[in-house]
Structures are given as structure tokens and as C-alpha cells.
Amino acid sequence: MESRLFAEVVRYLRIAKAVLAEPHGFFQRARSEAGAKDAARFYLAMSAILAFLTPVANLMGFPSDVIHASTNAQMAAFKYAPIFELYVGGSRHVWTGILTFAFMAAKLPVFVAFYHVSAKVLGGKGGWTDSLRVAAYSATPAMAFGWLPYSDFLFGLWAGLLIVPALHYLHAIPWGISTAYASFLLGFQILYVVLTGGGWLIEP
């Protein structure tokens, strides 16, 4: 059982490496994947790794805020974990891990729908499974490294940039349009943080 689990973790880490090292080739190959199972499992596996490592960073003194976390799931988990600790019991760090995974899983269908609608508006030709692949694989930098201190801008930006080849190869959206769309999303996110004054910068 342990050897099988280890083998699965290694397999998903190799997929993550392929996404990060050769995104163009990876997304081209991703079009030939059979069904949505592989992308969904990859996303959940990487979310589990992120959920395990995020509390470790918290224990080292780095809060999961807009500076030290790459996903809203981590920030929300860090914010609400003390409430679960107070009313349910257990350690807030354990709850941070559990909630990080739960929020990551919950937001996947939302992002799939968002990318699918966006792709159709932009003239994309892919289906729902392709939108799942866009959501799952483009998030790789944030899932793999989003627990690292001072990670937000770097790995959030990297994840945003991966949307460009993902939309191009999986939805057949022209390079210029996919680049403009990704730039809009990144700009909107940065503007939101500036206007809200870093609303997640609240340590419980």
C-alpha cells in the first residue's frame, strides 16, 4: 500500500515537472488524454500536497496571507482554522490542512465553469474536459510551490502565464487572444489586492 502511494505521488510530481518544464509540449499532449479522470486526480493529488505543506510553513512562522500563499484556498483556510479549533477542537494547523484541501476541491468546478464560459466567449473549440485540464494543469505552480514563503506573486504569476498555452492548445484560441485574456486576469487580480489593501493580511 505504501509503495503504491509513493509511486502515485512520484507520478504526479513528474506530471507537475512536465507542466512546468515544457508547458507547450505538455498541453499539446494533454489534448489526447482519455476522459477527465487524469486531470482531476492530478489536481486533487497536488492539492493534498499543498494542504500538507501549508501548515508546515505556518508552523515556521509564515502566515498564509497575500504575501506567503499562492491560493485563496490557503488564505481562507488560515483565516477560518482558528474558528474550527475553537468550536470543534483539534489543532488549527490540522484544520488549516483539511480546509486548504476542501477549499481547493470546492473551487475546481467553479474554475472549470469559469474557464469554459470564457473560452466559448473567446471563440474556443474545446469541451468541458478541456476546460478541466486548463483549470487543473495551469494551477500547477501555485499547488507545487504556493506554500513557500513570499510565494504569492511569483507562483501566482507563473500559474497565470500557463493559461496562455493551455487555452491555445486545448481550446484552439489564437495566441494573441489567449495572451490578452491571461493579462487581463492577472491585472484584475493585482488591482483587487491593491484596492483592498491586502484584505487577507489578517492574522487570526
Specify the range with the lowest mean pLDDT, choosing from 21-30, 62-71, 91-100, 151-160: 151-160
Asked whether residue 199 carries a pLDDT value surpassing 60, the answer given is no
Query: What's the pLDDT at 108?
Result: 97
Nearest to 44 by CA among 88, 111, 102, 92: 102
Separate counts of helices (H) and strands (E) for the chain: 9, 0
Cα 154–Cα 158–Cα 160 angle in degrees, nearest 5: 120
Specify the range with the lowest mean pLDDT, choosing from 13-27, 63-77, 167-181: 63-77
Whether pTM exceeds 0.85: yes
C-beta of residue 55 within 8 angstroms of C-beta of residue 97: yes
Amino acid residing at 45: A
CB atoms within 10 A of CB 202: 12
Is residue 76 helix, strand or coil? helix
Helix axes 37-59, 72-87, angle to 10 degrees: 60
Asked whether residue 202 carries a pLDDT value surpassing 50, the answer given is no
Query: What's the pLDDT at 154?
Result: 81
Give the tens place of pLDDT for each residue, 47-77: 999 999 999 999 999 999 878 888 989 999 9
Asked whether residue 21 carries a pLDDT value surpassing 50, the answer given is yes
- HEC string of 114-137? HHHHHHHHCCCCCCHHHHHHHHHH
Average pLDDT, the chain: 90
Report d(CA 22, CA 27) in Å as an integer: 9
125-132 long-range contacts, CB within 8 A, separation 24+ = 125/171, 125/172, 126/170, 126/171, 126/172, 128/36, 129/33, 129/35, 129/36, 129/39, 130/31, 130/170, 130/171, 131/170, 131/171, 132/36, 132/39, 132/40, 132/108
Q: Who contacts 72 (Cβ-Cβ below 8 Å, separation ≥6)?
A: 103, 107, 200
Q: Domain map of the chain by residue range?
A: 2-196
CB atoms within 10 A of CB 173: 22
Query: What's the pLDDT at 193?
Result: 67
